[in-house]
Amino acid sequence: MALLACVYLLAAFCIALSAQSTPFFKCTDGTPAPLDLRIKGCNSLPCPLIRGTDLTAEWDFEVTANTETLKPRVKVTLFGVTTEYPYPHQNACNDLTNGECPLEKGEEITYALKMPILKGYPLLTLNIEFALVDENENSQTFRFITHVRNTDSTDIPTSIKSTVYGVRTKPKMYDSRGKNFGKAHEQPRHTCHDAWRKTMIDDDSFFFWW
């Protein structure tokens, strides 16, 4: 019986670890953000992205308006340039793990994402923005920082030199139900797309947030 109890406790502990929340940045323009974000293998920023594997994530969100359709929008900022990532699964209704389209305002829904990290990706730190957008351009948007690397070993530098330009406010990171993770990297001045930048320089990688 004691052994069986230990097995149950270990299983519960592993499940709890796998479901840990991932911190993220909200947009400052009032765009709704997820209720909770869970990225596999990431409970602190920057999230490791291992080349040749998949980024697996899910997030809970509250529907802000009645909608028939839902599509993901992924943007990546690198060297001061923001580009839209061609995520292939454009019908987000097919990737809801609870609930189904059409969606009604006030529903709490979970969306699952699986995005390939190609072996040819450069070893850099990136600012990634995810959004779920309905037919009326209502969206749920958040941002987080990732570090592309070759293995799952801890190769992110412990000391990082940084230079910050034009920053007005300190940002906050959020997890489940809006719990504040505390101050972290600088936040944009007005919205997710405002002109702002930060550089991080280490042994072999750097990024620009613009």
pLDDT in tens, 186-196: 333 334 544 23
Q: What is the pTM of this model?
A: 0.66
Q: What percent of the chain has pLDDT above 70?
A: 63
- State residue 153's pLDDT score: 52
Q: Which of 71-75, 145-149, 179-183, 190-194 has the highest mean pLDDT?
A: 71-75
Q: Which of 88-92, 137-141, 201-205 has the lowest mean pLDDT?
A: 201-205
Is the pLDDT confidence value at 75 over 50? yes
Residues in the chain: 210
- Band (50; pLDDT cuts 50, 70, 90): very high
pLDDT in tens, 3-38: 333 333 333 333 333 458 999 999 878 889 999 999
Handedness of CA 190, 196, 201, 204 (dihedral sign): positive
Report the pLDDT averaged over residues 176-190.
43
How many C-beta neighbours within 10 Å does residue 70 have?
26
**Mean pLDDT across the chain:** 72
- Band (80; pLDDT cuts 50, 70, 90): confident
C-alpha distances in Å from residue 116, one per residue of 13, 102, 119: 28, 28, 9
Q: How many Å apart are CA 30 and CA 81, to the nearest integer?
A: 23
Report the pLDDT averaged over residues 128-145.
92
**Structure-block tokens of residue 124:** 């850099």
